[in-house]
Amino acid sequence: MSYFDNVPQAPADGILQLSVLSKADSNSRKVDLGVGAYRDNNGKPWVLPVVRKAEQQLAQEAGDHEYLGVGGLPALTNGAQKLIFGADSAAIREQRVYSIQTISGTGANMVGAVFLKQFKQPTDAAVYISKPTWGNHRNIFETAGHEVREYRYCNYSTLGLDIDGMLSDLRAAPRGQIIVLHACAHNPTGIDPTAEQWAQIADVMQERAHFPFFDCAYQGFATGNVDRDAYAIRLFVERGFELFVCESFAKNMGLYGERTGCLHAVVASSARVAA
Dihedral angle, C-alpha 240, 145, 166, 36, nearest 10 °: 90
Which residue in the list 192, 198, 229, 251 is annotated as catalytic? 251
Which three-class secondary structure state does DSSP give residue 205? Answer: helix
Q: H-helix or E-strand containing 267?
A: none
Which residue in the list 134, 192, 198, 229 is annotated as catalytic? 134
- Order of strands, edge to edge, in the sheet holding 178-182? 97-103, 260-266, 243-248, 211-216, 178-182, 127-131, 148-152
Which residue in the list 162, 192, 215, 229 is annotated as catalytic? 215
Is 251 catalytic? The answer is: yes
End-to-end CA distance of the chain: 49
Sign of CA dihedral 42, 45, 50, 52: negative
147's CB contacts (< 8 A; 6+ apart) are: 124, 126, 127
Instruction: Give me the phi and psi of 7, to 5 degrees please.
Output: -90, 115
Instruction: Give me the phi and psi of 24, to 5 degrees please.
Output: -80, -15
Angle at 163 between CA 162 and CA 166, to 5 degrees: 85
Active site residues: 134, 215, 251
